Structure 1
Amino acid sequence: MTTNFRHVALIGKYQASSSGLSGDTACQALSGIAAFLTRQGCTVSVESGTAASTGLDQYPSLSVDDIGAHCDLGLVVGGDGTMLGIGRQLARHGTPLIGINQGRLGFITDIPLDAYEHTLTPMLHGEYEEDLRPLMHARVVRDERVVFEALAMNDVVVNRGATSGMVELRVEVGGQLVANQRADGLIIASPTGSTAYALSAGGPMLHPSIPGWVLVPIAPHTLSNRPIVLADANEVAVEVVSGRDVSANFDMQSLASLLHGDRILVKRSEHCVRFLHPQGWNYFATLRKKLRWNEGGS
């Protein structure tokens, strides 16, 4: 049987947590998926960290860069956090990713573990929906020197320390001043990240096809300081004006102890993450499932 994906990499996060399997359960799940892929005519490799965590050593192990260079598809078993991490790393290679979620369905890991054979079979033979998600490229500039640089898929967050007061942030978009904002912090979220921290802070959900970001203040001092949707063609600059223990977070990557005068510059990356979904997938069905819309209705 022919397949559109000759070489498939298995990737997972397997700790004792809600977003990962552990021990024998992990090895058993991966072994079953690997055997299924082999029956479909695929060559199977395992990401080196996944292989080390699970003891799954009967398949070749590859680094993330080697997966990008040699594999036609990455099959990610875990939660959305696992997918975010590997997506950032593989985006520059253009490697497509499919997500299998062993717990509650995620926004981007949308295939349940107990249904993967039925769902993956047509996908491996070309029946799927492709979903491109642009990354955010963020830099921290101090005294005209870049001291930190990262890619993010969800959001860039500047916030105060746990025991400190408000921070004051000067915000510019495309070189134009927006405002000096006093708040607990500020979120710059992509459409992917609009259903994460930004949503809990009162921001809107952005459809993934919108080329934009949402700027969401966290507990602003001035209640008229509301979320705003921006075109992602413009660079956003956030300067730390005042406040103690200010930090910046780029998805799960952090830089603590920002100094007054530090500037966080965020622009659209040249790289996109390529997600593949089952044929017939749509964003609104995902929202209905995850956010429990229409519960109790028809």
Structure 2
Amino acid sequence: MQTLFRHVAVVGKYHAAVTPAAVGATRAALEDICNFLGRHGCEVALERETSTFAGMGNYPALDLPAMGTQCDLVLVVGGDGTMLGVGRHMARYGLPLIGINQGRLGFITDIRFDQFREILGPMLAGEFEEDQRSLIQANVMRDGHCVFDALAMNDVVVNRGATSGMVELRVEVDGHFVANQRADGLIVATPTGSTAYSLSAGGPLLHPSTPGWVLVPIAPHTLSNRPIVLPDASEVAIEIVAGRDASANFDMQSLASLMHGDRITVRRSEHHVRFLHPRGWTYFDTLRKKLHWNEGH
């Protein structure tokens, strides 16, 4: 079967596996997948840290920028967290990603490891559904200077300190004052992030093709302070007005100890993440499986 993807990079989840047995299982899984790709005519490379962790020196090792410029496809073996991190890096290169999950099925890693042989072959030949996801470009401004900037695929979260009370946040959209909000924090989530922290804080589900994001207060002091869906062409600014030890999280990237007057600005990135799914996949299949809809019928 002819492949559309000549040069494939493989990334493994190497942080969580710490026991020798876990390392061995990860290496065996990666070797299975790499051998499968080779039999389908793909030139295979391993992400550098994956190669070091798994001890697989028989394949070329590439860092993330080299993967972006040299490869046609990235295969992520792990969970949604691994996929989020790789997706943020690959977005600027326009490289598609396929996720193979060794544990529980994720929202964005939807191929079970025990099924990858029958599913991946047709996908390599072009039988897939493409799913593009928007990204947030965010930064923290302090005294007119940018002290932190990051891409986020799920959300930007401003949180109160662990031992302090509520924070007070001034929220603006496109320069227009919205409200001063007292709460435990505030979430700006993409459609991808609408199934993460935003969902547990009471936010709505957003279909991935929706050109918007959702602003969700965390345990607000005023109960009428409800989640709101905004167009993703908007720029959201969040200023720290009061509260101690507030922090900002951009997916898994953090900036602690925000100061009064710090402004977190959130805008749409020019880049998208490209996910490839098996032919026939729909977002509603994912929701039904992950959220256990229809159980008992």
TM-superposed deviation, 1:208: 0.2
What's the Cα RMSD here?
A: 1.1
CA distance in 2, matches of 1:251, 1:16: 18
Instruction: Report whether the alignment pairs 1:70 with 2:87.
Output: no
- The one-letter code matched in structure 2 to 1:81 is G
d(CA) in 2 for partners of 1:159, 1:23: 35
Query: 1:208-219 to 2 correspondence within 5 Å?
Result: 208-219=208-219
Match of 1:97 in 2: 97
Q: How does 1:58-207 map to 2 (within 5 A)?
A: 58-207=58-207
SS at match of 1:22: helix
Deviation at 1:74, TM superposition (A): 0.1
Once the two structures are superposed, residues 206-253 of structure 1 have per-residue CA deviations (whole angstroms, 9 ceiling, x without a partner) of: 000100000000000000000000000010000000000000000000
3-state SS of paired residue (2:220): coil
Q: Is the 8 A contact 1:14 1:22 kept in 2?
A: no
Deviations 1:79-102 (A, max 9, x none): 000000000011100010000001
Aligned length: 295
Once residues 217 and 17 of structure 1 are traced to their aligned partners in structure 2, the CA distance between those partners, rounded to angstroms, is: 35
Q: Which residue is equivalent to 1:14?
A: 14
Cα shift at 1:34: 0.4
- 1:37 aligns with 37
Q: Does structure 2 conserve the Cα–Cα contact (< 8 Å) formed by 1:153 and 1:251? A: yes
> For 1:203, what is the secondary structure of its paired residue?
coil
| Matched ranges for 1:231-242 at <5 A | 231-242=231-242
Distance 2:159 2:204 in 1: 20
**8 Å contact 1:152–1:251 — kept in the other structure?**
yes
C-alpha deviation, 1:17, in angstroms? 5.7
Q: List runs of 5+ in structure 2 lacking aligned partners.
A: none
Counterpart CA distance in 2 for 1:71 and 1:53 is 21
How far does the alpha carbon of each residue in 1:65-121 deviate from its partner, in whole angstroms, 9 at most, with x for none?
Answer: 000000000000000000000000111000100000011110000000000010001
CA distance in 2, matches of 1:251, 1:12: 19
Answer yes or no: is 1:243 the counterpart of 2:243. Answer: yes
Scaled by the length of structure 2, the TM-score of the pair is 0.98
TM-superposed CA distance for 1:290, in Å, is: 0.3
2:41 aligned partner, one-letter code: G
> C-alpha separation between the residues in 2 aligned to 1:144 and 1:204?
34
| Corresponding letter in the other structure for 1:222 | T
Structure 1 position 4 matched with structure 2 position 4: yes
What residue identity is the alignment partner of 1:181?
Answer: Q
**Alignment match, 1:264:** 264
Q: Which runs of 5+ in 1 are unaligned?
A: none
Residues 248 and 258 in structure 2, CA contact (< 8 A), matched pair in contact too: yes
Query: Is the Cα–Cα contact under 8 Å of residues 240 and 263 in structure 1 kept in the other structure?
Result: yes
> Contact 1:68–1:93 at 8 Å: present in 2 too?
yes
**Structure 2 SS opposite 1:258:** coil
Instruction: Please give the alpha-carbon distance, in whole angstroms, between the structure 1 residues aligned to 2:140 and 2:259.
Output: 10
4+ runs deviating over 4 angstroms: none
Q: Measure, in 2, the Cα distance between the counterparts of 1:60 and 1:262.
A: 44
Residues of 1 paired with 2:193 and 2:279: CA distance? 23
Which secondary structure does the structure 2 equivalent of 1:257 belong to? coil
Report the AA paired with residue 103 of structure 1.
G
Give the letter aligned to residue 227 of structure 2: P
Distance 2:49 2:200 in 1: 32
Q: Identity, % of aligned pairs?
A: 69
Q: Distance in 1 between matches of 2:258 and 2:157?
A: 12
Gap change, CA 1:139 and 1:16, over 3 Å in 2: closer
Please show how residues 251-290 of structure 1 align to structure 2 within 5 Å. Answer: 251-290=251-290
Question: Does the 8 A contact of 2:211 with 2:231 survive in 1?
Answer: yes
Distance 2:98 2:226 in 1: 35
Any idea what SS the aligned residue of 1:292 has? Answer: coil
Q: Give the superposition deviation at 1:134.
A: 1.1
